[in-house]
Amino acid sequence: MTTETVRTTKGHGHTYDSVLETIGNTPAIRVNNIAPDHVDMYVKFEAFNPAGSVKDRLAINIIEAAERSGALKPGQTVVEATSGNTGIGLAMVCAQKGYPLVVTMADSFSVERRKLMRMLGAKVILTPRAEKGFGMYRKAVELAEKHGWLLARQFETEANADIHAATTAQEILSDFEGKRLDYFVTGYGTGGTVAGVGRVLREARPETRIILSEPANAQLIGSGHAQERGADNAPAASHPAFEPHPIQGWTPDFIPAVLQEAIDGGYYQDLRPVPGMTGVEWAKKLAAQEGILTGVSGGASYAIAMEVAEQAEPGSTILCMLPDTGERYLSTPLFEDIAEEMTEEEIEISASTPGYHMP
């Protein structure tokens, strides 16, 4: 006699007044098939946020902090420079709250990101890829000054790291209460995650080592070269160590002021470079062997987590940040070898039964 277990669900026990109430409380998920046997590995999967990335947290806090301070008036336009995820998050928040949004983005970033922002009601202004992240940042500043729009300032605002200290870090503390947490592995874009989580973990879980990563061919922190800054801690120029890399959402061509807090405060214990294509490889392994569909940045962080795991003592617990979903990388190297038409193996499977017809 066999006993079958049928999965059931119970709902959340309450309803939500808007999509914005569903931001945060993303799960820490065990990695079962591609983790070394001597450690426990988990990923904090931010794709569970309603607009699909960790930047939903930042987006809601930027807007609500500006509302509280009076900097954002009803109906006022918001403008921001973004590689995509912050723009998508802001588009969701602005759609719900009724603010027009204009996004500036270098034309090198994936096409599906602009489509997602436009689908959510935003206007997307493309800037030349040759001008890199600093170019799209400068364009956002110009538009804000010209039209009196609110510049979101994700790279400088205190609202960035604050929301990670108040939510992301608290979720980690709750999920690992009474359990080991030896390592927390993350990359950086604005630096909000490592700064906010670092603030909290160094006090609440000082035994947890934070491992920060950046692209191997764009080691801004690793170069030791200080970022040139202007007014309000804004970047004054492109960082000399930057080179274009395939890890979209990671490491713009300047060191954000938000990230500078983590650097100056020594919030992380190790800094490791990772090649972009290694991030692609591990994102594919997470998808095919764990059913976890993350982007190149998630794959890159996980690659470093695997490096850490190989060197960690038996019984160690490692938590790796996965910032977003892989679905916004369809036009990038992550999907370039994924077939659109049937492969030879698929044709063979189809032909194995009667009624086979080539489409």
Burial of 77 per CB tally in 10 Å (0-12, 13-18, 19+)? middle
Query: What would the pLDDT profile of 294-323 be if each residue is shown by its tens digit?
Result: 999 999 999 999 999 999 999 999 999 999
CATH number at residue 321: 3.40.50.1100
In this structure, how many other beta carbons lie within 10 angstroms of the beta carbon of residue 111? 12
Same domain flag for 235 and 205? yes
Angle at 138 between CA 135 and CA 143, to 5 degrees: 125
Q: How far apart are CA 340 and CA 226, in angstroms?
A: 45
Catalytic residue list contains 55: yes
Residue 83 bears catalytic tag: no
What gap in Å lies between CA 33 and CA 5, rounded to an integer?
A: 22
Which range is least confidently modeled, 144-153, 218-227, 339-348? 339-348
Predicted confidence at residue 325, as pLDDT, reads 96
Q: Which of 55, 83, 301, 316 is catalytic?
A: 55
Residues spanned by the domain of 197:
19-48+170-329
Q: CA-based angle 102:105:106, to the nearest 5?
A: 155
* Alpha-carbon torsion (23, 30, 173, 191), positive or negative: negative
Same domain, 201 and 138: no
Task: Point out the catalytic residue in the list 53, 213, 297, 301.
Answer: 297
C-beta atoms surrounding 314 within 10 Å: 8
Residues 205 and 72 in one domain: no
**Model pTM score:** 0.94
Whole-angstrom CA distances from 248 to 18, 150, 168, 187, 244 are: 29, 25, 21, 11, 10
| pLDDT tens digits, one per residue of 328-343 | 999 999 999 999 999 9
pLDDT-derived band at 2, boundaries 50, 70, 90: low
- DSSP code for 78: E
Q: Are 39 and 114 contained in the same domain?
A: no
